[in-house]
Amino acid sequence: MVSAKAKRAAAAKKAAATRKRNAAAKAAAATKAATSRKRSRAAKKAAATRQRAAPKRRAAPKRRAAPKRRAAPKRRAAPKRRAAPKRRAAPKRRR
């Protein structure tokens, strides 16, 4: 049977390892964040410099709106055709 003291010692050891791991992870994350901050700042600066250096383009002259087209006059509907007269059935032929 493992004594309570040994159990506690093992748990403490485990906890210490976890703390160490967490601290390392935190430090790594901080370094990563700092690097990305630096990078984004540098990119911003570079973009600003580029914008300053770029020659300014003159705004294109505004175009006049095309004159509005008048709506075509409405066409009259074609006259309706009368129905053809019904044909009488031909008389049945006798044999």
pLDDT at 4: 94
* Per-position b or e across 68-87, b if 16+ CB within 10 A of its CB: eeeeeeeeeeeeeeeeeeee
**Residue range(s) defining the domain that contains residue 41:** 1-52
Cα separation values, 78 from 2, 52, 75, 81, Å:
107, 68, 9, 9
* The predicted structure's pLDDT at residue 38: 95
What predicted TM-score, i.e. pTM, was given to this entire model?
0.38
Residue 60 lies in a domain: no
How many domains does one find in the chain?
1
In a domain, 28, yes or no: yes
Within a domain: residue 5?
A: yes
- Residue 44: the pLDDT is 93
In which residue ranges of the chain is pLDDT below 70?
A: 1
Q: What is the pLDDT of residue 25?
A: 96
